Amino acid sequence: KRLQAGSLDFSFPEVKVEVEDGTLHLIPQEEPRARGLIEELMLLANRLVAEHLVKKGLPGLFRVHEEPLEEAYGKLRTALARLGYTLPEKLSSKALQRVLLEAKGRPEEPVVANLVLRSLRLARYAAENLGHFGLAMEHYLHFTSPIRRYPDLVVHRVLKAVLRRTLTPAKKARWQETFPAMAEHASEMERKAEAAERELTKYYMAKWAELHLGERFLGKVTGVASFGAFVMLRNGVEGLVRLEALGPYTYSEEAMALLGPKGKRIRLGDEMEVVIAAANPRLRQIDLLPYRDEEKKEASRGKTLVQKGKAKEEEMRKVVGPPKDTSRDSRPERATVNTVYFGEWAPREEKAGMHRPVDTRAKRRRRRR
């Protein structure tokens, strides 16, 4: 029923980091059916509570998601057209959902999903119910996790006050005055927490790669750029194979592929055997080499190209491979698939009207000593 209304369903691989007895593990997370059912029940509970607050005219912290900006939607249409997908001029969540379903199971699915996601505005908290575009719901809030999310706790306080009949006009007026600042503060803290989590996960991925220097893995090409190809290993670790390490390949923006001699191509979704050549946890950066090139070099030199164990930061920053061709683009610092494909035109949320939350706590008089 939710999907029929046009709700957008994104499926991105998640990696869980576990450090046990000094050993680092990266575990890809699957999506079991039971977890999906629980999520649907949580969405339903959140929607029903939001509808109840709106119907009764009660204050609350709503989870709102506004429509994409017109400029962002136009750029999304252009980007998807290069991949062979069309969007109508008129924006609708059902049109975006159709594109996501068309791309499902195809090599370019991660890129299409990321393009759609990056075109959307950020979901945020607000004291006013503005609907949720991504879920195709007119009323929505967060209610089910009061232990770990403050907005859920605020909603519980409102409901308890109503059920216990302690919601006085004065308390209601005070909440209506302070909730906008609370919503802004909660949104800001959420963005900071998510950014910290992403950076820490990337750091541990680079640390894991540092422990597996010289080892061979099978991965899939998740992105191509003028300076090389991004490859994701089966455990979710993503690194870069530099263009000069691949050989005489050139980047084609139109084909979104690397074109080589004799009709060879490196495209999204292609499998590639790679060797971890270097890792820099400080820069969250991992460099890879195609396995065939590594094997030839080892045979000709009679020694391994990279050594296991600890290495100085200067050595870690070097990308092991053929001499750099100065006529080709170099890798930007901290470059990832997201920054290459989506970083240039990601819409920024308007910062107008942002203000610091009002401290509603009772002020305590300092005791003189």
Helices 93-103, 109-119: crossing angle, 10 deg rounding: 160
Tokens standing for 54? 């709106």
For 61-104, the pLDDT digits (tens) are 999 999 999 999 998 998 888 888 999 999 999 999 999 999 88
- Domains delineated in the chain: 14-66+121-203 (no CATH), 212-341 (2.40.50.140)
**Reported pTM:** 0.73
Residue 280 makes CB contacts below 8 A (sequence gap 6+) with 206, 286, 313, 316, 317
**Whole-angstrom distance, CA of residue 81 vs CA of residue 83:** 5
Q: Judging by beta carbons within 10 Å of its beta carbon (0-12, 13-18, 19+), is residue 84 exposed, middle or buried?
A: exposed
Per-residue pLDDT of the chain (369 residues; tens, 9 = 90+): 788 888 988 877 778 888 877 788 888 877 778 888 899 999 999 999 999 999 999 999 999 999 999 999 998 998 888 888 999 999 999 999 999 999 888 888 888 888 899 899 999 999 999 999 999 999 999 999 988 899 999 999 999 999 999 999 999 999 999 999 999 999 999 999 999 999 999 999 999 999 999 999 999 898 888 999 999 998 889 999 999 999 899 999 888 889 999 889 998 888 999 999 999 999 999 999 999 744 555 544 544 444 443 443 333 333 333 344 444 555 555 556 555 554 543 444 444 444 444 443 444 444 444
